Structure 1
């Protein structure tokens, strides 16, 4: 009697397990299809992004900015365009993975994936800030160096380097703020830096105007004295 009861309960458990698997199977197949298609789409789009950036000569700009050498020192022998393309690919993979998890009905894991996806726009914006900064720094450095050297001033390279690192400082702070890395501290530092740059500009302008306007002021006073004598 006991053996028959045990056999019956075991059979029921196995049947329930099999029925549950059959009910879960469509979701599993659907999740696998979504993820496989998503993986293919992600790889293709990542390669397209890398190729477009390569045609825009982003690699050359990164090389001029010294980032290729820095990455090689860190033993990361990868092109900038391939690196950005890989970021795009993995962002899309995470999105499709989240969709697959939703299909499987794994709520806790899906909530965790949604939190990651919610953070991804910050990563995208941070990458865009980085790429745009590299391009801007390259352009600004060339313009300032040419302008300063055009008037035959010997410190053109120094001025362009100062401007370059000033732009990079702002960019790094903006990237950290976008990634929500100690945002309160970044806001304080960012605000102080802006005030410092503005104050430096005002002081520099005042000094330049004072030195350059001294002769003009002398001429004005001389003209006033001559008119008074007349």
Structure 2
């Protein structure tokens, strides 16, 4: 069977020039890439990604930068371009342009980092949304003081860790990322230490006491 396909390909190559197969592969691959990108966008619409981001205030932040928020289309385009680059690599390979196909192969090798960075972003979005709905919502229903402040700290912690993880995944100066991470931990520790030293001790004790009383009930 393998010999048959090899024989068939050799004969077809003699009948049709490589440019014909290159154009055919590109056109078919392009439309398939668009279709896969649309599927990805529709999948994100089903989980209502844009609505979650709007609820978190991302739309307002993007509007200030004159950027229209549409994360569903954005991630769909990332998926689409992954397959388009793959198709282009195959096209150049058929045309015998090894340098171009080699370059695109390197681009594809970096692409998984972009995918993982996008997944980390999505995980952060849902973790933040989950913490607001479950953790903070529960505390507010139980009428525990400073639940809103706790929610802001939880969101800040999630996004700080996520941004650092994304930068590390994209291989953007890991030394600086490590420095920022250490700085964030030190700053957080100092904030807690200062708050306890300047009277925050009573505030923390009150919060813990209220939480303990609610748990006992």
TM-based fold match above 0.5: yes
Contact 1:144 1:159 in 2 (8 A): no
Which residue, out of 69, 72, 76, partners 1:85? 76
Structure 1 unaligned segments of length 5 or more: list them.
Answer: 1-21, 213-230
Structure 2 unaligned segments of length 5 or more: list them.
Answer: 1-12, 196-200, 207-217
Structure 2 residue aligned with 1:55: 46
Contact 1:98 1:110 in 2 (8 A): yes
Task: Give the alignment of 1:96-111 within 5 angstroms.
Answer: 96-111=87-102
Q: 1:140 to 1:203 in 2, by over 3 A?
A: farther
User: Which one has the largest radius of gyration?
Assistant: 1
Measure how far apart 1:151 and its partner are: 3.5
Task: Give the alignment of 1:57-136 within 5 angstroms.
Answer: 57-136=48-127
C-alpha distance in structure 2 between counterparts of 1:202 and 1:132, whole Å: 31
Paired residues, number: 188
Which residue, out of 171, 181, 190, partners 2:181? 190
**TM-score of the superposition, structure 2-length normalised?**
0.75
C-alpha distance in structure 1 between counterparts of 2:131 and 2:20, whole Å: 53
Find the residue that maps to 1:60 and give its secondary structure: helix
Which residue, out of 161, 167, 170, partners 1:179? 170
Find the residue that maps to 2:20 and give its secondary structure: helix
Measure how far apart 1:211 and its partner are: 5.3
**TM-score of the superposition, structure 1-length normalised?**
0.71
C-alpha distance in structure 1 between counterparts of 2:93 and 2:185, whole Å: 45
Structure 2 residue aligned with 1:167: 158
C-alpha distance in structure 1 between counterparts of 2:111 and 2:140, whole Å: 43
C-alpha distance in structure 2 between counterparts of 1:130 and 1:211, whole Å: 35
Measure how far apart 1:114 and its partner are: 1.2
C-alpha distance in structure 2 between counterparts of 1:202 and 1:147, whole Å: 27
Measure how far apart 1:73 and its partner are: 2.8
Corresponding position: 1:33 with 2:57: no
C-alpha distance in structure 2 between counterparts of 1:118 and 1:154, whole Å: 50
Runs of 4+ in 1 over 4 A off after TM superposition: 191-204
Q: 1:26 to 1:194 in 2, by over 3 A?
A: farther
